[in-house]
Amino acid sequence: MVRDMAAGFLEKNAPVSALRNLRDRADSQGYDTSVYTDMAGMGWTGMMSSEDVGGLDLGAGVAGLVAEEMGRRLSAAPFLSSAVMAATMARACNAVEISAKIASGNAVVAVAFDEVSKHRPDKVSTKAEVSGNGFVLSGSKRFVSDAVGADAVLVTAMTDQGLGVFLVDPKLRGVVTNQVSTVDSRNAASMDFNQVVLGGDTLIAQGSEAESALALTLRVGRSVAASEMVGLSKEVAERTNAYLRDRKQFGVALAQFQALQHRAADLYTQIQTTEAITSAALAAFDANHEDAERLSRVAKAKANKTASLAVREAVQMHGGIGMTDAIDIGLFMKKARACIEYLGDDSCHAEWLLQDRGL
């Protein structure tokens, strides 16, 4: 039911053509605020938040359904960044006030964790030094999703007592949000923190608490991102299959050629297994299962591989028309590339799997 509702809403309000429009008018925010407000009205922004703060506490499984439908339509909204990841992080840090704002949709909150070109959230050079009752934050973050126009940013930084999570107001002196124009035409920024003076209450978790809040945030992010990629992969595969049925060459539909049938069927099986591992990862997250970390990493890695295959096959099987900006296939390819890199590529997670197995 959630899926149907999400599909209906997104089809009307955030289809692929909406992303195309945002891109063509070089919208700096990269999403339509009114769409996000409507999402909030339907409770989507509170899916991951507890009922105490006005959330619905529906869990990652439900968020995954929404994300999958968003992936099908390349729907632009700070759902993954704010409603899923920031909400999870704020909740894990017991930051009640901001949790409530995220849940109601009154605040869009970004999470800033990457500092180098590859996803390495454990490499934190950003520092928060104690100063009076507060801190001075310095450093920079890259590819902060939906940071442009965000009401607040959750920033990881090293403190004298290990990792810290800070709730930072981007309007503070010394915070520079540099919008980055990205291949997927979505909202992203690199952020510089130049001796930003923070109050003591901006530190919402520290030490092992911060570590586990970050781990939980990345875990849910990976699993829900994998759902988004499952949706993207399904859609692009279905569009390709429709094209194969439609397009005639040598007097017959392309769908008659076994060489193409088998490639399409192979892709279908890849999408099936990706969907299975993604569902397993989401369920494990919600159950706080001991295997949840591994499953989220496998899900993301597999979703990366499958989405990559799906968009490459889509362009090739569409032939020349697939290379044109006139049809949407290229937009899927671009979004897939960004999804793959965000929250870790397949090598990143496969490496974790190996180390987990002692190899």
Partner 1 sequence: MTDLHSFRATTRAWLEENCPETMRQPMSEADVCWGGRKWVFQSEDQRLWLDRMATRGWTVPEWPQAYGGGGLSGDEAGILKEEMSRINARPPLQSFGIWMLGPALLEFGTEEQKRHYLPKIARGEIRWCQGYSEPGAGSDLAGLQTKGVDCGSHFEVTGQKIWTSYADQADWIFCLVRTEPDAPKHKGISFLLFDMTSAGVSTQPIQLISGASPFCETFFDQVEVPADQIVGARGNGWTIAKYLLTHEREMIGSSDAALFGSEDVVEVAKDAIGLNALSQLDDPLLRAKIADFLVDEAAFDAELARAQDWMRAGNQLGVQSATLKYTGTELNKRRQELIMEVSGLDALEWDFAQAASDEKASLWLRSKANSIEGGTSEVMLSILSKAVLELG
Shortest Cβ distance from residue 359 to partner 1 (Å)? Answer: 5
Q: Is 167 in the site for partner 1 (CB under 8 A)?
A: no
Report the chain's C-alpha Rg in angstroms: 20
Secondary structure class of 261 (helix, strand, coil): helix
Position among 21, 94, 324, 347 found at the interface with partner 1 (CB under 8 A): 347
DSSP string for residues in 276-303: HHHHHHHHHHHTT-TTHHHHHHHHHHHH
Applying CB under 8 A, the span of 44-52, 131-139, 257-265, 319-327 interacting with partner 1 comes to 257-265
Mark the segment that binds partner 1 (CB under 8 A) among 27-35, 201-209, 260-268, 319-327: 260-268
Report which of 106, 53, 84, 103 is spatially closest to residue 226, judged by C-alpha positions. Answer: 84
CA distance 177 to 252: 54
Sign of CA dihedral 153, 286, 341, 11: negative
Applying CB under 8 A, does 52 fall inside the site for partner 1? no
Nearer to partner 1, 183 or 276 (CB): 276
Using rule CB under 8 A, residue 197 touches partner 1 = no
Query: Pairing state of beta strands 188-198 and 134-145?
Result: antiparallel
Min separation Cβ 251 and partner 1, Å = 15
Nearer to partner 1, 116 or 276 (CB): 276
199 lies in the site for partner 1, by CB under 8 A: no
**Cα–Cα dist 208/95, whole Å:** 16
Provide the strand spans (E) within 160-267: 162-168, 175-179, 188-198, 203-206, 248-249, 252-253
* 48, 205, 216, 280: residue in contact with partner 1 (rule CB under 8 A): 280
Question: Which of 34, 133, 258, 288 is in the footprint of partner 1 by CB under 8 A?
Answer: 258
Which positions touch partner 1 (CB under 8 A)? Answer: 241, 244-245, 255-256, 258, 260-262, 264-266, 268-269, 272-274, 276-277, 279-280, 294-295, 298-299, 301-302, 305, 346-347, 349-351, 353-355, 357-359
